[in-house]
Chains A and B, each alone.
Chain A
Amino acid sequence: QKEVEQNSGPLSVPEGAIASLNCTYSDRGSQSFFWYRQYSGKSPELIMFIYSNGDKEDGRFTAQLNKASQYVSLLIRDSQPSDSATYLCAVRGTNAGKSTFGDGTTLTVKP
């Protein structure tokens, strides 16, 4: 079992819809959770981070964390074709060292 698991997709949504991306992790001691977006051939760029249970909103993006279920999600409202990319979930443990990444979910937003 991988430490961080994501559905590989592809996930396809129409423009203007809500895209929901999910991630589960195995280390109960994980403290910090991150979502990165990666366009083809480019490096990951940070979208959001979340540390506490509940929701965190930033513009069209909402991150949700449930530590009891070891689950973190990212919602993208009013999806745009420019949101088409691979979304990587990353988890950091208690030692504030490395972040462990999932293999990403590929999102396609169709005009």
Chain B
Amino acid sequence: DTGVSQDPRHKITKRGQNVTFRCDPISEHNRLYWYRQTLGQGPEFLTYFQNEAQLEKSRLLSDRFSAERPKGSFSTLEIQRTEQGDSAMYLCASSPGQTGTTIYFGEGSWLTVV
């Protein structure tokens, strides 16, 4: 079991640039989640997929954020025209998808917008 893998682990970017994060879930998990966490706050839900279908997207998520999971395996989260307020840890998680099963987090991708 290789766990949830995220890349890159750290990213520093200038305001206005685009960034993309990749997540590889645990291989047998068909649900994949993206969360964002800032200092002193709990993880905030962004979106989740079952296989390749994006089933829910947070209403708080601006149009600058987009996520894909084209073949139902890995996923990407892109942030366009980054702002300083986007600085956070972006967490990917996966689960087998049955009701009540737990989600398992990757190590996170830290984004700093300067």
A-side residues, CB < 8 A to B, are 4, 8, 31-32, 34, 36, 42-46, 49, 51, 88, 90, 92, 96-104
Contact = CB atoms under 8 A, between A and B. Distances in A.
Contacts of A32: 99-100
Interface residues of B, number: 25
Which are the 8 A-B pairs with shortest beta-carbon distances?
A101-B42, A96-B99, A43-B105, A32-B100, A98-B45, A103-B42, A43-B108, A101-B43
B33 A103 contact: no
Q: Which residue among B42, B44, B107, B108 has the maximum number of chain A CB atoms within 10 Å of its CB?
A: B42
A97 B48 contact: yes
25 contacts: A4-B42, A31-B99, A32-B99, A34-B102, A36-B105, A42-B108, A43-B89, A43-B91, A43-B107, A43-B108, A44-B43, A45-B105, A46-B102, A51-B100, A88-B42, A92-B100, A96-B97, A96-B101, A98-B45, A98-B48, A99-B45, A99-B103, A100-B45, A101-B44, A103-B40
Contacts, number: 54
A101 B105 CA distance: 13
Contacts of A96: 97-101
Q: Which residue among A43, A45, A101 has the maximum number of chain B CB atoms within 10 Å of its CB?
A: A43
Contacts of B28: none
Nearest to A104: B42
A45 B102 CA distance: 11
B104 interface: yes
